[in-house]
Amino acid sequence: DVKVTQSSRYLVKRTGEKVFLECVQDMDHENMFWYRQDPGLGLRLIYFSYDVKMKEKGDIPEGYSVSREKKERFSLILESASTNQTSMYLCASSLNLAGTGELFFGEGSRLTVL
């Protein structure tokens, strides 16, 4: 089974802190994604990566950056956390393009920024 592991399930940070969210997948998938989930807004794409060191902005990249130094690992970075970044963050991976395959999600990282 594909496994996408988000190392931190719950985090509480203060405004202005730097936050790292880590994600690891074990199925050699090319593509990895970071989504943000908020009630009534669904899943919104922050960034995605289709290869090591390659990244593309999604729909809401402001205030975030990403890093993909190894194929299996994709990190989301909040350089200076703000209260409006309090949310559930979901990492996902896929083998193929969006029209041809399944997205596999981690269990999420719930971030609270005070």
Residues of this chain that bind other proteins (CB under 8 A): 4, 31, 35, 40-45, 48, 50, 56, 58, 90, 92, 94, 97-100, 102-103, 105-108
Distance CA 103, CA 56 (A): 17
Which residue type does 68 have? R
Report the residue number, 11 or 43, with the smaller CB distance to other proteins: 43
Minimum CB separation of residue 4 from other proteins in Å reads 7
Give the largest CA-CA distance in the chain. 40
Report the residue number, 17 or 95, with the smaller CB distance to other proteins: 95
Minimum CB separation of residue 35 from other proteins in Å reads 8
Report the residue number, 19 or 46, with the smaller CB distance to other proteins: 46
Minimum CB separation of residue 106 from other proteins in Å reads 5
